[in-house]
Amino acid sequence: MVATSVELIQAEDAGWNQLHTLVDTLSPEEGDRPGYYPEGWSVTDLLGHVGGWLAAAGLVLERIRSGTYRPEEIDVDEWNERFLIAMKGVSFQDARTQSIISRARMLQAWTELGDLTREAAFWIDKGGAAHYAEHLPRLGDWVAELHDGERG
């Protein structure tokens, strides 16, 4: 069953707001501190990753609208690696800004789409609410760890 546009935007907005409620409590130094993931990711890396997927979702929505979407051309693992490499060394503030711009572009592409197809709903959720939900539990824990470290 495909979610309605109203359900998708409500979930997307709620997830985005939760993500940024946590991220916006961090200083640039905290944002750059490795430890969000054991592999050494920082919140800056997370923002680059999320922003990359929002940008990708916007591109896919444009392809769906123009009739050029080819799911077989998408390699999720390769895209993940590409986003990580592209954003390595970017500042916390720039990664934060990039994620905001990527989200705005995805939302614009969604608005331009017209009818919500099953493929479009999948990519809106994958780039937005479902993706945020994947990262929010660890982000909440990591932000709490960072803040506890300040008080301790």
CATH code at 50? Answer: 1.20.120.450
The residue length of the chain stands at 152
**Domain interval for residue 95:** 5-146
**Is 67 a domain residue?**
yes
Which whole number is the average pLDDT over 98-120? 95
**Is 151 a domain residue?**
no
Which whole number is the average pLDDT over 54-82? 91
The alpha carbon of 7 is separated from its chain's Cα centroid by a whole number of angstroms, namely: 18
**Is 152 a domain residue?**
no
Contact between 46 and 33 (Cβ < 8 Å):
no
* DSSP-derived secondary structure for 41-91: --HHHHHHHHHHHHHHHHHHHHHHHHT---GGG--HHHHHHHHHHHHTT--
Per-residue model confidence (pLDDT) at position 35: 93
First to last CA, the chain: 48
Compute the distance between CA of residue 37 and CA of residue 22 in angstroms, rounded to an integer.
16
Model pTM?
A: 0.91
The number of distinct structural domains making up the chain is: 1
